[in-house]
Amino acid sequence: MKSEILSVLRNTEGYISGQELCERFGVSRTAVWKGINQLKNEGYQIEAVQNKGYRLCGYPESISKIELESRMHTKWAGQNLICLDSIDSTNDYIKKLAEEGAPHGTLAVADYQSGGKGRRGRSWVTPHGSAIAMSILVRPKLAPEKASMMTLVAGMAVAKSVKEVTGLDVKIKWPNDVVINGRKISGTLTEMSMELGAIHYIVIGTGINANVTEFPEEIKDIATSLILEKGEKVDRAAIICAHMEAFEDFYDRFMEYGDMTLLKEDYQELLANQNQQVRVLEPGNEYTGIARGIDELGQLLVEKEDGSIVKVYAGEVSV
Ligand code: BTN
């Protein structure tokens, strides 16, 4: 149905009413509405105006390999680059490449994910042509228990690159959610493969709500996007390339000590709740305190009312 609707929208000057679409295809209003939403999810911009109908006003904009390659100024991050129109999950895709021996720094970018994965078993929506979904493969010589800090490194790189490209006031909500005005614009999922107590490889997958204008009901109050915050479309390719440059720099600094020693200060400058009250949500244990930055292991330091400092390793923090 969506391709028929698309073809009518393409060939219509101005608006076409929902009723006319129903009649033309002999389908219900709901079927038309679903078709329109599917097209929007694939990156088509469709204006809906009451008493007028629908109008196609923009096409998906894909990110091409040639464009990224011509703008990527890194030594290793993203130098081996794969651009995909559509994939289930870039993390799963990179894992397969890693098993086949792909080099450190291999990056996969997808224009659409049909099964994007979030942290804690949640799903992650990547609408066609408007979001950023990317996963990078790294092969560090590092103790496996330190791998989770890569998520913080990636979060810092997102915050830095988005700030640089858009000028927006970007912050990090520990450990790695990147937020603007308290709403999430990006998340990172890190997955590791290890053998005999050593890291085989790590896949760091990052999603950024770049030009996304609509969110599923369940997250619409906590998520935002760069286009919504900036009021204009952002250059996805510029963000990906800036992100790779920042990530490469932060990663190299991380690897000097194998921890956050050289990144702690930069991280704290980006921390959304630094010196503010936070609520720590650990399974079976919730408490409030003041966020006092992170230690070299990336643990959030929370000062409780009695002055004691708790190091938060896992769990979630809310304002
Ligand atoms: C989170 O829950 O905050 C983490 C979201 C991570 C989403 C990204 S999008 C690219 C990569 N591929 C996936 O399937 N997930 C990550």
State the complex-level ipTM.
Answer: 0.99
- Give strand pairing partners of 83: 109
| CATH level 3 topology of 65-268 | BirA Bifunctional Protein; domain 2 (3.30.930)
What pLDDT shows up at residue 45? Answer: 87
- With H, G, I as helix, E, B as strand and everything else as coil, classify residue 201: strand
Q: What is the mean pLDDT of residues 70-84?
A: 94
Beta carbon of 172 within 6 Å of any ligand 1 atom? no
Q: Is 113 annotated as a binding residue?
A: yes
Q: Is 89 annotated as a binding residue?
A: yes
Mean pLDDT of the chain: 93
What pLDDT shows up at residue 319? Answer: 62
- CATH hierarchy code of domain 273-318: 2.30.30.100
- What values do phi and psi take at 53, rounded to 5? 120, -145
What pLDDT shows up at residue 58? Answer: 80
53-67, 89-103, 177-191, 243-257: the lowest-pLDDT one: 53-67
Q: What is the mean pLDDT of residues 281-303?
A: 92
What pLDDT shows up at residue 68? Answer: 87
What pLDDT shows up at residue 1? Answer: 81
Q: Cβ of 37: how many Cβ atoms within 10 Å?
A: 13
For ligand 1, the distance from its centroid to the CA atom of residue 153, given in whole angstroms, is 15
Beta carbon of 254 within 6 Å of any ligand 1 atom? no
Beta carbon of 131 within 6 Å of any ligand 1 atom? no
Residue 207 Cα: closest atom of ligand 1: 9
| CATH level 3 topology of 2-58 | Arc Repressor Mutant, subunit A (1.10.10)
pLDDT in tens, 207-265: 999 999 999 888 989 999 999 999 999 999 999 999 999 999 999 999 999 999 999 99
What pLDDT shows up at residue 225? Answer: 97
pLDDT in tens, 125-148: 999 889 999 999 999 999 999 999
Query: Is pLDDT of 60 > 80?
Result: no
Domain residue ranges in the chain: 2-58, 65-268, 273-318
Beta carbon of 187 within 6 Å of any ligand 1 atom? yes
Q: What is the pTM of this model?
A: 0.81
Distance CA 106, CA 186 (A): 21
Output the CA–CA distances (angstroms, integers) from residue 307 to 160, 288, 292, 303, 316, in the order listed.
Answer: 32, 12, 12, 6, 21
For ligand 1, the distance from its centroid to the CA atom of residue 187, given in whole angstroms, is 6
Q: What is the mean pLDDT of residues 265-290?
A: 91
For residue 275, what are its two tokens? 């010196």
For ligand 1, the distance from its centroid to the CA atom of residue 203, given in whole angstroms, is 11
Q: Is 45 annotated as a binding residue?
A: no
Query: Is pLDDT of 181 > 80?
Result: yes
